[in-house]
Structure 1
Amino acid sequence: MTGRIVGPLVAAMMTLAGAGAGAQEMKIERVMRGLDTPWALDFMPGGGFLVTERGGKLTLVKDGVAQRVGGVPEVYDSGQGGLLDVMVPRDFAQSREVFLSFAKPQGGGAGTALGKGRLSDDGKALDGFEVIFEMEPGSSGGRHFGSRIVEGADGYIYLTIGERGDRPAAQDLSRENGSVVRIARDGSVPDDNPFVDQEGAQPEIWSYGHRNPQGATLDGQGRLWVVEHGARGGDELNLIEKGANYGWPVISYGLHYSGAKIGEGTAKEGMKQPVHYWDPSIAPSGLMIYSGKAFPEWKGQVFVGSLRFDMISRLSADGRTELERIETPETSRVRDVREAPDGSIWFMSVGQGAVFRMVPK
């Protein structure tokens, strides 16, 4: 598919983000429309951006023209599975590599996988796409794939993986369910990963005890942050530490959907506490920590998309306090939140099948 489905930019709404500290006047513009279950976007150096749709489409948008990109892997398009995150590394201008996470078919089920390919000079295909990691073993069912990709300050790749609905597996180091993994760009395991020498452990694991981490980003200090879904309540914002256990399903601030208690309570020695949690659940998705480039008063603050409450949650720079819920007609099931090179704040609405951006009024 090639077509002009973006631009000119449409000023969809003007609003005053006025509640709480750091009020900012801004307007929301529609950048792209006509998407079927959009999942992620990332920016290209020199302009343009890439967009994934869960059904398996990767689209390059440049100069107002959208072009379908070929060479995308086969995906397990069921439930929450499909083509998920996209990441353009810092050295793209030299390597032309693009990384994708996706639900990979595995026998009778599927598992979270990560691969990369080289974007052709004309932008029409990912050449030589190869899978550099896949969780093992995968499992049946279409939920909790995680799948956010972050290029760390150390140059390694961090990938979030959900527990695939298998709660005990999140505490089992012999499985990658419910973990953040860390690998080199060729798929090899760094020697300083925390469990690389532990017998029976998966050496890619960086942290574990996660339920379904669907947002991840770096802060200005290069630290990795993750947001993850709880059950009934207990959605979490976590600062990720090497080798740390984040507790699922032993501790949680939520309940099972049946109303039953989860695990042993809200705290246990040796298990990390969230920096912030939401109760009731907001169903967190994309995560961004803002530079302050276009909205100076928001510098360092945390932005989290909500799939449940149709808003973007704005938190303090330490992540502990929710300052505001940005709610507009455009924030319908927000899947991804990103900062563009010019400091504008972009977000992806599943409900509207569109990409929007916030700019100063």
Structure 2
Amino acid sequence: MTLMQRVIKPKSQKAKRALEEREPKTIENTKEVMFIRGQKCPDTLRLLMRDLASIKKPHAQFLDQKNDIRPFEDHTKLEFFSKKFDKSLFIFGSSNKKRPNNLIMGRFYDYQLLDMVELGVTKFQSLSDFKNEKIPTGTKPCLMFSGEIFEEDSDMKRIKSLLIDMFRGPEVTNIRLAGLEHAIQFTATPDRKIYMRSYQIQMKKSSTPKVPRIELEEIGPSMDLEVRRLHLASDDLFKTACRQVKNVYKEKKVKNIEKDEFGSVYGTLHLPKQDLNNFQTRKLKGLKTSKAEKMAEKKAKAEKARQAKGSKDGAGDEDMEEAEGDEEEVVEDDAEEGDSDNMESAEDDE
């Protein structure tokens, strides 16, 4: 039986954030490249990797120490470096009598080797060989591919996908015209040779003011490559690695928000009814009531209360007078009835 790997919980917030950063994400981070030297790496090949690292900055890490690695025989150390430095891509440089100036490019999926291609460098010109102005560090390049073999050959299709992963840089949603400064051209021939050229995009004045005239100036690095050996993942594994979450890039619909033709955003806000009676305002000395005003207000309230009380007393006296009048009327009626009875009794006696 094999021992289960023990899960070590992070002891600090920094370690916890580092582990969370390495977890799978719906939208992955920008892929980074590590440059690895072999046991025998000539100066030309090392200069080539330095130039490629300068193009990939800040998403590149150069491991200057020599490593005795044979990727096509045993790639466990490459996977170890991928997990240690959290890198998705690698470029390995080595040279021997059988395969001189050997450049190996590859990529990982879940820290496991996915694809790997071995390229032989037959011609190389560095950045320093071109005496002209260079592009700023971190510029996102435009990638151009020419050659029917990139679409017809299944292996070359996979190499094209690997080159796009290697040089595309961060993903962006909008492009500024003035920010298009760098272009990389890959040309493939039927004999499986790839020519890589790097250009600076220069925008000149043209007859139409809105559309500039484009000129390309080669700035390096420039290299001629030939395909030697391949290590490609199976179709099922490649589909699994390319799988994406549905609707992850779809914009979520936001209620009560509209945009006009100029891009201005208009929103509808629903607020509760405000009670301004209890609204707390700033208390200023100039607005404070004086003692005389307070005394006058008290006198007015007292006078109003006295008048209200007097009106109530007057209404009570009127009710008493009405009650006495009713009693007098009742007495008079009784007297009249008694007189009529006496008159009737006298007539009977007669």
Q: TM-score, with normalisation over the residues of structure 1? A: 0.23
More helix by share: 2
More strand by share: 1
Q: TM-score, with normalisation over the residues of structure 2? A: 0.23
Pick the structure with greater CA Rg: 2
